[in-house]
Amino acid sequence: NPPIIYRDMKPAKLILTKQGRIYVVDFGIARHFNPTKKGTMIGTQGYAPPEQYRGAVEPRSDLYALGATIHHMLTARDPQNEAPFTFPPLRQLNPKVSPEIEKVVMKSLEMEPEGRFKDSQEMMEAMMRITLKSNRQSLKLCPRCHSRVSITQPFCPHCNQYLTSYRSNRINETVPIGDI
């Protein structure tokens, strides 16, 4: 606390490992969030939200850039080559995208920060609900906090602990999806 504003999320700032993990790199222009201080316009055209052009970044500004990044990755449409702040519905460009994912991404791309998710936790929870709903498999219980977690998740989103690091019989305990 205070939150860090990354200010330059885009596909080039992500690294995918052989193990399937994604890392964000290059925190060179990231700053602690200070709601009373106006900053300079910095970021990448096409990914930066409207308020960032006015030097008025806030935590939801990064959600816009993340939405632009996901949009680009799911459609191959580079926002740097398009008119600023224009994102056609995902399914228009890639019909394989689920309506639920489209809804999450388009909400993160709202022009006004108030129309976006309140924070990254809320966006992550929306994505996890989609994951749980779409895989229709079992859940496992986190041995640390006993939260229900998708069997596809390597970590618990509630206590942020890696599930595979625990030696417990409860790690394999499953819960029917209807019990959520």
Q: Which residues contact 102 (CB under 8 A, 6 or more apart)?
A: 89, 90, 91
Q: Which residues contact 43 (CB under 8 A, 6 or more apart)?
A: 7, 8, 29, 52, 65
- Evaluate whether 131 touches 150 at the Cβ level (below 8 Å): yes
Question: Given 8, 62, 119, 179, which residue is catalytic?
Answer: 8
Q: State both tokens at 20.
A: 């399937």
35 burial type by CB count under 10 A (0-12 exposed, 13-18 middle, 19+ buried)? exposed
User: What's the one-letter identity of residue 35?
Assistant: P
- Evaluate whether 50 touches 85 at the Cβ level (below 8 Å): yes
- Active-site residue, 179 included: no
Active-site residue numbers?
8
